[in-house]
Amino acid sequence: MKFSEQWLRGWVSPQVDRDELVARLSMAGLEVDSVTPAAGVFSGVVVGEVLSTEQHPDADKLRVCQVSNGTETFQVVCGAPNVRPGLKIPFAMIGAELPGDFKIKKAKLRGVESNGMLCSQAELQVGEGNDGLMELPADAPVGQDIRVYLELEDASIEVDLTPNRGDCLSLAAWPVKWARCTTPRSAVLSSPQCLRCTTKYARSKCWRQTPARVTWVV
């Protein structure tokens, strides 16, 4: 079974880091097969907006773009087929570091200065798309760190369930398992669909029907 670490922390958030959490789950008999980050390691990438494009004077497949980071405008040479005015994209500015220890520097492409890089999903390791730029929603806030905007400080945790752990086949049961592994006396659950009562046998009903926040003893 796979689940998102941040989704689980939205229900119950113990004061332990990811490595300690995985260790405690394993010690509780829930074997963790893998922990996969939601994205590669990178920094210096923000939400950018393409303001205008024009044909590169010396290359048919390149466009010279004016890109805004919310406070300044930069000239960036781009060869992606889907680049166009009004598009919001991940913009790696000068000094950014991308996966693979790739550092963004000022460069010249066919004689035209380029100050940064417009990124695809594959270049940030947030997906497999590599046939064009990663297109962001029209309401994406220009200038915001892309890791914050896309909530990339997350990981997919895969657990190998044995036949005797049918109690873990439901995602709704995982907050309880996590709470018991990390906070042996009490836990707090918080969710848009959370609990109203504290009785043992009414929890599952309350998870589905009542908005609230509750503390219970485990």
pLDDT tens for 52-62 read 999 999 988 99
Q: Higher confidence at residue 109 or residue 173?
A: 109
Residues 202 and 187 sit within 8 Å (Cβ to Cβ): no
pLDDT in tens, 96-153: 999 988 999 999 898 899 999 999 999 999 888 788 999 999 999 999 999 999 989 8
Res 26: pLDDT:
80
- Token output for 72: 């300044």
Smallest CA-to-CA distance from 151 within 3, 1, 4 is with 4
pLDDT of residue 174: 72
> Is 81 a residue whose pLDDT tops 60?
yes
Band (pLDDT 50/70/90 cuts) for residue 181 is: low
Model confidence band, residue 65 (pLDDT cutoffs 50, 70, 90)? very high
Q: What is the mean pLDDT of the chain?
A: 80
Q: Is 202 helix (H, G, I), strand (E, B) or coil?
A: helix
Inform me whether the pLDDT recorded for 208 exceeds 50: no
Q: How far apart are the first and last CA of the chain?
A: 23
pLDDT at 192 over 50: no
What DSSP assignment string belongs to 54-108?
A: EE-TT-TT-EEEEEE-SS-EEEEEE--TT--TT-EEEEEEEEEEETTTEEP--EE
For residues 203 and 54, which has the higher predicted lDDT (pLDDT)? Answer: 54
pTM recorded for the entire structure: 0.71
